[in-house]
Amino acid sequence: MQKALKITDALSGTYLLEIKADKDFRISAKKFAGTLFPSGYYYYSGSAQKNYENRLQRHLKPVKTVHWHIDHLTTIATNRITRIFLFENAPRSTECEVVRFLVENFGLSEKFHGFGNGDCKTCGTHLLYSESPIDYNQFISLYQSTVRLIPLSSEIF
């Protein structure tokens, strides 16, 4: 059994998952029953105020008990997390700031209203969609003092 690569030493923070969906798919969550999720890139903003490393490692596991909305996406074989942007020790409110920033600066779609934001009163969703990936250099340059990029690919592991 291969040991998981350690992602962070931070105890808490916010993160942005980039998920590439190679094919259209549907999920079993009642709220999204019948909804077609098109192939493309999904950006999910979340946070963990404790056990940050464990939360990130859980997202990377392809087999797990589906607990959160995002688990529905990360357990589909044709979907894969391609990058994780870390905002170590950032407050929970950062996840909402990141969503607003991506919509305003990259024009990402908020088409999946109510996805992954059950404890949020300000955002319509924490899952954004784009047919193509965002410009990482631009994103990182704007958040350079707070963000770390973790590229995930078969070349690393």
pLDDT band at 143 (very low <50, low <70, confident <90, very high): confident
Average pLDDT over residues 15-23: 97
pLDDT at 146: 73
Model pLDDT, residue 2 = 54
| Lowest mean pLDDT, pick from 35-39, 61-65, 133-137, 142-146 | 142-146
pLDDT in tens, 90-138: 999 999 999 999 999 999 999 999 999 888 889 999 999 999 999 988 8
How far is residue 48 from each of residues 9, 64, 71, measured CA to CA in Å?
A: 13, 18, 15
Whether 71 shows a pLDDT value over 70: the answer reads yes
Question: For the chain, which residues make up each domain, given as ranges?
Answer: 13-151
Q: Is the pLDDT of residue 155 over 70?
A: no
pTM listed for this prediction? 0.91
pLDDT value, residue 154: 46
Whether the pLDDT of residue 12 is over 90: the answer is yes
Q: What is the number of alpha carbons within 13 Å of residue 49 lying toward its C-beta? A: 5
Q: What are phi and psi of 72, to 5 degrees?
A: -60, -35
How much is the mean pLDDT over the chain? 90
Return the amino acid letter for 27.
Answer: I
Q: What is the pLDDT, as a whole number, of residue 157? A: 35
pLDDT classification of 6: cutoffs 50, 70, 90: confident
User: Which of 23, 44, 24, 154 lies closest to 96 in space, CA to CA?
Assistant: 44
Averaged over 46-56, what is the pLDDT? Answer: 95
**Most confident of the following: 28-32, 38-42, 146-150:** 38-42
